[in-house]
């Protein structure tokens, strides 16, 4: 475990650090250093077609790394930053192509976690950071999750459990069009879902299968669809007969904050399957439903 000054020194020196944000723990490197960013892809086993989000400490810092800042970007940033919203805009030449999967755009956000904010400020550079886990595995919401995934391969700042619990909402403002690329816990009702991406993905976390435990995960409408009694059942409304049952909160924000931690715990218990009762319908549940759908693909 390390503190923020030590972590900032590692980032400036071209190394990797796992650090807390309000969404999940991130695996960070200097976003302006292509060689440092390449270490993220290598450690995670992440494909080069999956871009990284760039974390900055202010709106002013964000504007330095994009070539266009339309009025809508200003409005969204003022309303949701610091917070779990990533905005995709045309990138400046300072951002290496490896960060953006060769695309001319970059996803950028100001995290709300004070430790993440201090790390960016003390490092003095924007930090590129996907979730601190192997590609397609469950995202970490605690420092212990990161240690279980990477061991001693990366230094970790322990900031306690993540508060939001799933990854940020991602919206694109490219070409003056407001488009939802990845749902999260910020619901923007006027945004329509983007079409399935081709080639390099316009945002991270858009692979059909993602955020998955090692254990087979299925989403069911209720206990009658459980395969048998020998697995683990995660429910919010209808309990059922299973060897292991976990009740989730009926409120979307508290559900999201617990989701990955519960799946990590059940994954470690080595059940033959994990069944999750489908969440309610509604825009406030869209991000959660998206993560479960991808985990079960």
Residue range 158-167: mean pLDDT, rounded: 96
pLDDT of 279 strictly over 70: yes
243 band by pLDDT with thresholds 50, 70 and 90:
very high
Say yes or no to pLDDT of 210 above 80: no
**Which tens digits make up the pLDDT trace of 97-150?**
999 999 999 999 999 999 999 999 999 999 999 999 999 899 999 999 999 999
CATH level 3 topology of 4-182: DHBP synthase (3.90.870)
Name the pLDDT band for 208 (thresholds 50, 70, 90).
low
Domain boundaries defined on the chain: 4-182, 217-296
Share of the chain above pLDDT 70, in %: 92
* pTM above threshold 0.85: no
What pLDDT, on the 0 to 100 scale, is given for residue 192?
36
Q: Does residue 201 register a pLDDT over 60?
A: no
pLDDT band at residue 211, thresholds of 50, 70 and 90?
Answer: confident
Q: Helix 286-296 crosses helix 252-268 at what angle (to 10 degrees)?
A: 20
pLDDT of residue 202: 66
Write the CB contacts of 71 (distance below 8 Å, at least 6 apart in sequence): none
Q: Measured between alpha carbons, how far is residue 65 from residues 109, 125, 199, 219, 279 in Å?
A: 11, 11, 24, 40, 38
Higher-pLDDT residue of 203, 82: 82
pLDDT tens-digit map of 44-63 = 999 999 999 999 999 999 99
- The answer, yes or no, to whether the previous bond of 82 is cis (omega within 30 of 0) is yes
- Evaluate if residue 248 carries a pLDDT over 80: yes
Separation of CA 22 from chain center: 10
Q: For residue 131, what is the DSSP state? A: B
- Give the mean model confidence (pLDDT) for residues 11-30: 98
- Per-residue pLDDT band for 197 (boundaries 50, 70, 90) equals very low
The position carrying tokens 């970490």 is 140
> Are 52 and 40 in contact, with CB atoms under 8 Å apart?
yes
Residue 191 has a pLDDT of 44
Percent with pLDDT over 90 in the chain: 84
Where do we find the tokens 């508060």?
A: 163
- Radius of gyration, alpha carbons of the chain: 19
Q: Where does the pLDDT of residue 196 fall: very low under 50, low under 70, confident under 90, or very high at 90 and above?
A: very low
Question: What pLDDT score does 121 carry?
Answer: 98
In this prediction, residue 176 carries a pLDDT of 82
Of 22-26, 41-45, 188-192, give the lowest mean pLDDT range.
Answer: 188-192
């Amino acid at each position: 475990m390390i503190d923020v000054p030590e972590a900032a020194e590692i980032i400036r020196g071209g190394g990797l650090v796992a650090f807390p944000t309000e969404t999940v723990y991130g695996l960070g490197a200097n976003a302006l250093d292509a060689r440092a960013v390449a270490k993220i892809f290598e450690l995670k086993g992440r494909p080069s077609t999956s871009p990284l989000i760039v974390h900055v400490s202010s709106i002013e810092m964000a504007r330095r790394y994009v070539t266009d800042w339309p009025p809508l970007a200003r409005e969204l940033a003022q309303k949701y930053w610091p917070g779990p919203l990533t905005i995709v805009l045309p990138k400046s030449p300072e951002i290496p192509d490896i960060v953006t999967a060769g695309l001319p755009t970059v996803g950028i956000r100001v995290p709300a976690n004070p430790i993440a904010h201090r790390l960016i400020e003390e490092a003095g550079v924007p930090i590129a950071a996907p979730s601190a886990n192997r590609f397609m595995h469950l995202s970490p919401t605690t420092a212990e999750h990161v240690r279980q995934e990477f061991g001693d391969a990366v230094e970790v700042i322990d900031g306690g459990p993540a508060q939001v619990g799933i990854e940020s909402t991602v919206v694109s403002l490219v070409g003056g069009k407001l488009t939802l690329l990845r749902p999260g816990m910020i619901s923007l009702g006027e945004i329509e879902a983007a079409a399935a991406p081709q080639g390099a993905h316009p945002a991270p976390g858009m692979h059909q299968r993602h955020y998955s435990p090692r254990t087979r995960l299925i989403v069911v409408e209720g206990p009658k669809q459980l395969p048998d009694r020998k697995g683990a059942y995660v429910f919010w409304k209808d309990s059922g007969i299973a060897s292991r049952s976990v009740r989730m909160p009926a409120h979307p924000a508290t559900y999201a904050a617990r989701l990955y931690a519960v799946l990590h715990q059940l994954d470690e218990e080595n059940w033959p399957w994990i069944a999750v009762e489908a969440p309610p319908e509604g825009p406030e549940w869209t991000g959660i439903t998206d993560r479960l759908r991808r985990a079960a693909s």
